[in-house]
Amino acid sequence: MSESNIMDTIKGQVESNPVILYMKGSPDMPQCGFSAQTVEAVMECGKRFAYVDVLGNPEIRENLPKFANWPTFPQLWINGELVGGCDIVVEMHRNGELQPLVDEAVPAEAE
């Protein structure tokens, strides 16, 4: 797949999923400590979210850092905006800033 097609795929994923986490592994089986910490923070918000395993999608793993202008994984996106990686997401969760963002993105009737 060409780089522009991959960029279109990423754009479509980010725009069509109110909350999406690009991570190594899956929520049930994270493949790195940073992904594990991030997915735990997102799951504790109690809302449904999409995820993409970048280990199983090497083209996305290669191109998402260019799309996002963010070099590392995991990456949490809410309502089409990059929230950040592990440190930012975990800190926002601790400070109570993550829950309202997730609640706004995923209204109760959409669960």
pLDDT digits (tens, 9 = 90+) for 61-100: 999 999 999 999 999 999 999 999 999 999 999 999 999 9
CATH dotted code for 3-110: 3.40.30.10
The whole-model pTM stands at 0.94
User: In what order do the strands lie in the sheet containing 81-84?
Assistant: 50-53, 19-23, 75-78, 81-84
Asked whether residue 45 carries a pLDDT value surpassing 60, the answer given is yes
Kindly state the DSSP code that residue 26 receives in the 8-state scheme: -
89 near 49, Cβ under 8 Å?
Answer: no
Q: Where are the domains of the chain?
A: 3-110
Give CA–CA dist 76/89, Å, rounded: 8
